[in-house]
A and B are shown apart, each in its own frame.
Chain A
């Protein structure tokens, strides 16, 4: 008996210890007051500022690195100096009267996370590396289009066409200044620089095996494989946070405060971004205070409404994003790709060029029940999209024709497709979405149900794929039909026209969509100085987009954010890829 008691004692201690630190005891006191925990469901693609082109990765990047100039608080149309000490303008003499030469005086006394000082050489190297990297479908064209006058650094055969001399001439170091000379003036250039002029340490990059800044090595570092760059999983920026860990096993990224930050250090000591796929678990974490904000769609919003500890900031205008849209790949890589089925038009698959026929694309577009999607996916808090340019942005045409759910038209289009073979033989394919995104999953189901109801020979599978794998498969043109959204890189319709429609844009590149007439139109519209004419050109582009149907924009949603009531300092800027934690604190 005595032995039994002694045996039970440690068990009792452990049980009591397990039960002791409960949430009931702690009540609603601020949990982890100096650590912000954001819980999402996706993962991260890369932390290379010149490679990443997704919001998940960029949420980390723009808290770790800093651009030369930045947006002024919540404003998209005003800029503040960041690593440059002034925003170039004709008035301050830092922008030439012809609008082509920008001078950025580099801030003194700024240190990288490794303690090395920031120099003009670093800033110039960072811009040159950004232009050179130019991975397929990546962000480099944002700057190269204006600085170098090209939207791709490679020729039609894929060989590097960029000359070292051009790079050196375009981005120069003059004393403590970086001087950027554009091929032609562009009014939105500062907007692009505010988001895409991140500065890295040249010495650190070279030491870690990245581009040494020489002509001879350019080809090696052009269009690199994601994992091969020095910046893939490591970072050395000047930003308010340092990248401490990318814990791939634990699916979390940890940022720590940069105590040697050139501005006042942030009040948060640490930011932890966790990935939890199960939405119910994320909601419970938010309610328990183990998460300060979570990724959520409007479908799940009722589950947190009314909780006194959770603040919902609703009715956020999202005039800078077209989300979601679905895209067709015109030349699918069907090699060993089960999403194409048999790879032939035999009723059990689709051929690689299945979506090259506009009737197939129209058939899909008319098969989608947009209103059900709007009601069920967004609880009515959205408007139907009229083309790729979002509501609220210059170039949006309220009178633009758009697709509606129309079974008769869908049937007619499918009957026309491939000379009637599609209707006669049927097809089988997969519609893909990023796993965890329940709204896109719902959209895929709606599409599947309607298309399959048109003809028993039509078979549509749906499949969710983890974010980073999804992006890789999209880049490799392996997704027949895929859902994705676009958040503007800068508030201008060109950013949408280019990436939805121009052959060098992110999506058309993956889709293998190319139309010379469209490319020319997009280019002309971007350069048109007359506002009225420019608007008409975007109307024309949107009409063309409707006729050619390379993708289908579904809704312009109204945004919302959730956070614990103890979170303060967050502000909204429609252009930000995520939370800018510098101003955020808990208390």
Chain B
């Protein structure tokens, strides 16, 4: 297992270089003036854009430009984001924790609900629970996120005033912005507990409920379908029949023998879902006025904010690479044939 992980880790720099070449190549579609924003950390520098082009060799051969750009990326200089009115690095530090917090809270219900419903749906094929589960999956997948979001918002906030939009209510927001509150992790629920402010923890949690439910409905639906079909296929395998023939109890057959082997496509999808959530969920964040990285990235793309889009792409690529590595390790753990092969 260790050798397998080490081998995968050694491949990471190569993948990283490949990703940066790809992003750099796409950036070449922009003019030198647009690319200049990638090299400044203060908008005043853009006043002398020709000088920026000369200084950073944007009129030089591509390989020189690539090395220069890569060096900046390594140092964390990702340029200036006009959309966020701050450097791209600072914008990522500012907006990413909100999305990370949302993802962490959304991922557990997505996985638990997706795997559980998918499994019982397959086990009880064509019975009521299966119909319900398929209805849930179809509903979750076929209704657009903004419809779910607005619907939930109208009912649980508009009508019942239970779960408000945004990240914090007014009082909590004022307290968090005050010097009394120390941000350790920028994850509000965690920081609230570390600051021993349980009311802020609850307030942040209340604001997370609707975005989490929206994301769970949409993402868990996909997972239900994949888990169900994977389980159905596994349950038809000879070794499952053998296990049953040996007289093993049904829960043991399902949980020990079938589900573990059905998990490979589920792990892939879960990893992709996790990374997808971390990349920001533009629609959910916009509807709920949630200040995450997806809303910033989406805005940046609309404003043609080249530096922000490049930074966002790099972040996404990095997360995807880490996500894939995690998935590979999980495969190997679930199925020894992979690490031995």
Q: Kindly provide the distance from the CB of A410 to the nearest chain B CB, expressed in whole angstroms.
A: 29
Partner of A464, one of B47, B163, B302: B302
B202 & A14 in contact (Cβ 8 Å cutoff): yes
Given A249-B291, A280-B153, A463-B302, are A18 and B161 neighbors across the interface (CB < 8 Å)? no
CA distance A254 to B175 in the complex (A): 12
- Nearest B residue to A232 via CB reads B85
CA distance A466 to B84 in the complex (A): 10
Q: Kindly provide the distance from the CB of B143 to the nearest chain A CB, expressed in whole angstroms.
A: 16
Question: What residues of chain B lie closer than 8 Å to A24, measured between beta carbons?
Answer: 160-161
The answer to whether the Cβ of A22 comes within 8 Å of any Cβ in the partner chain is yes
The answer to whether the Cβ of A155 comes within 8 Å of any Cβ in the partner chain is no
Residues of A241-283 at the interface with B, using a CB-CB cut-off of 8 Å, are 245, 247-252, 254, 270, 272, 274, 276-278, 280-281
CA distance A252 to B173 in the complex (A): 10
Residues of A200-258 at the interface with B, using a CB-CB cut-off of 8 Å, are 225-228, 245, 247-252, 254
A18 & B202 in contact (Cβ 8 Å cutoff): yes
B205 & A14 in contact (Cβ 8 Å cutoff): yes
Given A24-B161, A276-B289, A466-B299, are A245 and B304 neighbors across the interface (CB < 8 Å)? no
B31 & A336 in contact (Cβ 8 Å cutoff): yes
The answer to whether the Cβ of B243 comes within 8 Å of any Cβ in the partner chain is no
The answer to whether the Cβ of A3 comes within 8 Å of any Cβ in the partner chain is no
B162 & A22 in contact (Cβ 8 Å cutoff): yes
Question: What residues of chain B lie closer than 8 Å to A276, measured between beta carbons?
Answer: 165-166, 289
The answer to whether the Cβ of B154 comes within 8 Å of any Cβ in the partner chain is yes
A465 & B153 in contact (Cβ 8 Å cutoff): no
The answer to whether the Cβ of A435 comes within 8 Å of any Cβ in the partner chain is yes
Partner of A466, one of B42, B158, B289, B303: B303
Question: What residues of chain B lie closer than 8 Å to A472, measured between beta carbons?
Answer: 82
Given A276-B289, A335-B31, A335-B33, are A285 and B165 neighbors across the interface (CB < 8 Å)? yes
The answer to whether the Cβ of B286 comes within 8 Å of any Cβ in the partner chain is yes
B167 & A250 in contact (Cβ 8 Å cutoff): yes
Residues of B52-100 at the interface with A, using a CB-CB cut-off of 8 Å, are 82-86, 94-95
A466 & B287 in contact (Cβ 8 Å cutoff): no
A338 & B291 in contact (Cβ 8 Å cutoff): no
The answer to whether the Cβ of A383 comes within 8 Å of any Cβ in the partner chain is no
A247 & B165 in contact (Cβ 8 Å cutoff): no
Given A37-B170, A278-B287, A284-B153, are A469 and B303 neighbors across the interface (CB < 8 Å)? yes
The answer to whether the Cβ of B10 comes within 8 Å of any Cβ in the partner chain is no
How many inter-chain contacts with C-beta < 8 Å in the A-B complex?
Answer: 108
Question: What residues of chain A lie closer than 8 Å to B163, measured between beta carbons?
Answer: 18
A338 & B43 in contact (Cβ 8 Å cutoff): no
B85 & A468 in contact (Cβ 8 Å cutoff): yes
The answer to whether the Cβ of B324 comes within 8 Å of any Cβ in the partner chain is no
Partner of A336, one of B33, B150, B206: B33
Question: What residues of chain B lie closer than 8 Å to A23, measured between beta carbons?
Answer: 160-162
Question: What residues of chain B lie closer than 8 Å to A435, measured between beta carbons?
Answer: 299, 302
Given A272-B170, A464-B302, are A287 and B164 neighbors across the interface (CB < 8 Å)? no
CA distance A251 to B82 in the complex (A): 14
Digitize B133-161: 1 where CB-to-A-CB distance is under 8 Å, 0 elsewhere.
00000000000000000100110011011
B162 & A469 in contact (Cβ 8 Å cutoff): no
The answer to whether the Cβ of A17 comes within 8 Å of any Cβ in the partner chain is yes
Q: Kindly provide the distance from the CB of B137 to the nearest chain A CB, expressed in whole angstroms.
A: 26
CA distance A252 to B305 in the complex (A): 22
- Nearest A residue to B94 via CB reads A249
A22 & B160 in contact (Cβ 8 Å cutoff): yes
A22 & B161 in contact (Cβ 8 Å cutoff): yes
B291 & A227 in contact (Cβ 8 Å cutoff): no
The answer to whether the Cβ of B174 comes within 8 Å of any Cβ in the partner chain is yes
Given A19-B162, A277-B286, A336-B30, are A227 and B44 neighbors across the interface (CB < 8 Å)? yes
Question: What residues of chain A lie closer than 8 Å to B153, measured between beta carbons?
Answer: 280-281, 284
The answer to whether the Cβ of B195 comes within 8 Å of any Cβ in the partner chain is no
Question: What residues of chain A lie closer than 8 Å to B33, measured between beta carbons?
Answer: 335-336
The answer to whether the Cβ of A353 comes within 8 Å of any Cβ in the partner chain is no
The answer to whether the Cβ of A59 comes within 8 Å of any Cβ in the partner chain is no
Q: Kindly provide the distance from the CB of A439 to the nearest chain B CB, expressed in whole angstroms.
A: 19
CA distance A26 to B167 in the complex (A): 21
The answer to whether the Cβ of A290 comes within 8 Å of any Cβ in the partner chain is yes
Question: What residues of chain A lie closer than 8 Å to B82, measured between beta carbons?
Answer: 469, 472
CA distance A37 to B157 in the complex (A): 17
The answer to whether the Cβ of A55 comes within 8 Å of any Cβ in the partner chain is no
CA distance A338 to B305 in the complex (A): 12
The answer to whether the Cβ of A96 comes within 8 Å of any Cβ in the partner chain is no
The answer to whether the Cβ of B32 comes within 8 Å of any Cβ in the partner chain is yes
A288 & B174 in contact (Cβ 8 Å cutoff): no
Residues of B262-308 at the interface with A, using a CB-CB cut-off of 8 Å, are 286-289, 291, 299, 302-305
CA distance A536 to B288 in the complex (A): 53
The answer to whether the Cβ of A309 comes within 8 Å of any Cβ in the partner chain is no
CA distance A295 to B286 in the complex (A): 16
CA distance A400 to B16 in the complex (A): 65
The answer to whether the Cβ of B34 comes within 8 Å of any Cβ in the partner chain is yes
B286 & A278 in contact (Cβ 8 Å cutoff): yes
Given A17-B202, A254-B174, A284-B165, are A465 and B160 neighbors across the interface (CB < 8 Å)? no
The answer to whether the Cβ of A583 comes within 8 Å of any Cβ in the partner chain is no
Can you add 17 more A-B contacts, CB < 8 Å, to A14-B202, A336-B34?
A: A19-B162, A227-B42, A248-B86, A272-B170, A278-B287, A280-B154, A281-B153, A281-B165, A285-B165, A287-B158, A288-B164, A335-B33, A336-B30, A338-B304, A463-B302, A469-B82, A472-B82
**Chain A interface (Cβ < 8 Å from any Cβ of B):** 14, 17-19, 22-24, 26, 32, 35, 37, 225-228, 245, 247-252, 254, 270, 272, 274, 276-278, 280-281, 284-285, 287-288, 290, 335-336, 338, 435, 463-466, 468-469, 472
What are 25 of the A-B contact pairs (CB < 8 Å)? A14-B205, A18-B202, A19-B162, A22-B162, A26-B161, A227-B44, A228-B44, A248-B84, A248-B86, A249-B94, A250-B177, A250-B291, A278-B286, A280-B153, A280-B154, A281-B165, A284-B153, A284-B165, A285-B164, A287-B158, A288-B157, A288-B161, A338-B304, A435-B302, A466-B299
**Chain B interface (Cβ < 8 Å from any Cβ of A):** 30-34, 42-44, 47, 82-86, 94-95, 150, 153-154, 157-158, 160-167, 169-171, 173-174, 177, 202, 205-206, 209, 286-289, 291, 299, 302-305
Which 8 A-B residue pairings sit nearest by Cβ, starting from the closest? A23-B161, A336-B31, A336-B33, A336-B34, A249-B94, A276-B289, A284-B158, A225-B44
